[in-house]
Chain A
Amino acid sequence: KAGVTQTPRYLIKTRGQQVTLSCSPISGHRSVSWYQQTPGQGLQFLFEYFSETQRNKGNFPGRFSGRQFSNSRSEMNVSTLELGDSALYLCASTLTAGANVLTFGAGSRLTVL
């Protein structure tokens, strides 16, 4: 079966712009979580969605937001981009809310100029 699909794979934005990233989970998986990966901070948890509801959020400013649709697909949005938002954004899906065995997508590489 298809894995976790993230689009776009690469994108370049300029400071002040906003960006939307998409994640389609494995069929049947209802929970989607997002992580930011940077060389300096490593992998950090952004948020988790289940049944179209955000269950928890990591320590990120309000510029980072997300949502989940009825088909479990999720999007994350970053507004007013800063240089420090340049990162690999990873999406992971799992069967149920709060479950630990995550299946990751290949990520979306965001570069902010």
Chain B
Amino acid sequence: AQTVTQSQPEMSVQEAETVTLSCTYDTSESNYYLFWYKQPPSRQMILVIRQEAYKQQNATENRFSVNFQKAAKSFSLKISDSQLGDTAMYFCAFGKGSGGGADGLTFGKGTHLIIQP
């Protein structure tokens, strides 16, 4: 079974600062995906970024980037130039490789990120 650990229950930063959210995972799978989802107060889970484990290059989506350290089983999310709209719960998630998604994603407990004006 997979486990996903987010060690920061809550973080608070000033607008325009850079913030890094931590995530570690444990798995015996060799083919898998890692995700960061955002859940604002509206409750809708929104995919922020996805990383394929077989890719060495870290994924980037605009202001969001990841630091994927496969050997250390670490998958952190960096948000640059943070904005008030980034305030949300952020969940790190693990998914098995192709066809394995039927087992569902395994989520961490989440980090509540607050962007202060």
Query: Is A101 within 8 A of B50, CB to CB?
Result: yes
How many B residues touch A, CB cutoff 8 Å? 27
Interface membership of chain B positions 48-88, coded 1 if the CB is closer than 8 angstroms to chain A and 0 otherwise: 00100000000000000000000000000000000000000
Query: Chain A contact residues: over half helix, strand or loop, or mixed?
Result: strand
Query: Is A107 within 8 A of B43, CB to CB?
Result: yes
With the chains together, A43 CA to B101 CA distance in Å?
Answer: 15
Residues of chain A lying within 8 A (CB to CB) of residue B106: 45
Q: Is A48 in the interface zone, CB < 8 Å from B?
A: yes
With the chains together, A42 CA to B45 CA distance in Å?
Answer: 13
Q: Is A68 in the interface zone, CB < 8 Å from B?
A: no
With the chains together, A46 CA to B103 CA distance in Å?
Answer: 9
Binds B, one of A13-21, A77-85, A91-99: A91-99
A residues in contact (CB < 8 Å) with B: 33, 35, 42-46, 48, 50, 55-56, 58, 88, 90, 92, 94, 97-107, 109
In the assembled complex, 5 residue pairs joining A and B whose CB atoms fall closer than 8 Å, in A order, are A45-B106, A98-B101, A100-B101, A103-B47, A104-B44
